[in-house]
Amino acid sequence: MSSTTDIDLVPAIATRREDALTGLGKMVSQGLGWARKYSLFQYPFVTACCGMEFMAVASARYDLDRFGAALPRFSPRQADLLMVVGTINVKQAPILKRVYDSMADPKWVVAFGVCASSGGFYDNYATVQGIDRIIPVDVYIPGCPPRPEQVLDGIMLLQQKIQDQSHKLIDREKPALPAKG
């Protein structure tokens, strides 16, 4: 696993803003990233059969708790990982958008299964062809449904991504609020 530690030390994408951070800021950012990646409170937006696989991966045999992502919060206001599990149709799209907008920053999104990622084989009039047409997505997990190992791999990818992002102790930037509606 030596290659993983190399990636740990060198961020995959070094933005200008990251370069401008002081050494202390970097340490704080890494610490916050470490804390955040191991305390993912998830909101399962379960609409279809992938939910069975989600239950499998969340319960004892595969156990998402090992990755610190065990506690589903059934309010988006308490969650920071939105798991979109299943087919999203056009009628449901505004609900998903509202759930995403209700979540507090920082927040991440996982498209669980091929329907959430791209519409899957529902290539028809009713289905949104991938939730990235509505909300930004961090990790796509393919599969119909994905095997639990794939989900665990996706969670690990997301943790890597969170670790590599820049975090601030106090973010003075005003968050972008959704349009009133």
Contact footprint for another protein (CB under 8 A): 90-91, 93-95, 97-98, 123-126, 128-129, 133-134, 177-178, 180-181
**CA distance linking residue 46 with residue 57, whole number of Å:** 14
Nearer to another protein, 14 or 126 (CB): 126
Nearer to another protein, 14 or 90 (CB): 90
| Cα distances (angstroms) measured from residue 136 to each of 56, 96, 108 | 26, 12, 9
**Shortest spacing between CB 58 and another protein, in angstroms:** 28
**Shortest spacing between CB 106 and another protein, in angstroms:** 16
Nearer to another protein, 23 or 175 (CB): 175
115 contacts 122 by C-beta, under 8 angstroms: yes
15 contacts 166 by C-beta, under 8 angstroms: yes
**Shortest spacing between CB 37 and another protein, in angstroms:** 26
Nearer to another protein, 35 or 126 (CB): 126
**Shortest spacing between CB 175 and another protein, in angstroms:** 9
Residue 169, burial from CB neighbour count under 10 angstroms (0-12, 13-18, 19+) = exposed
Strands 42-46, 108-112: pairing is unpaired
> Which SS3 state, helix, strand or coil, does residue 82 take?
strand
Nearer to another protein, 127 or 165 (CB): 127
The two three-digit tokens of residue 110, written as one number: 């996982």
**Shortest spacing between CB 123 and another protein, in angstroms:** 6
How large is the angle between the packed helices 23-37 and 148-164, nearest 10 degrees?
Answer: 160
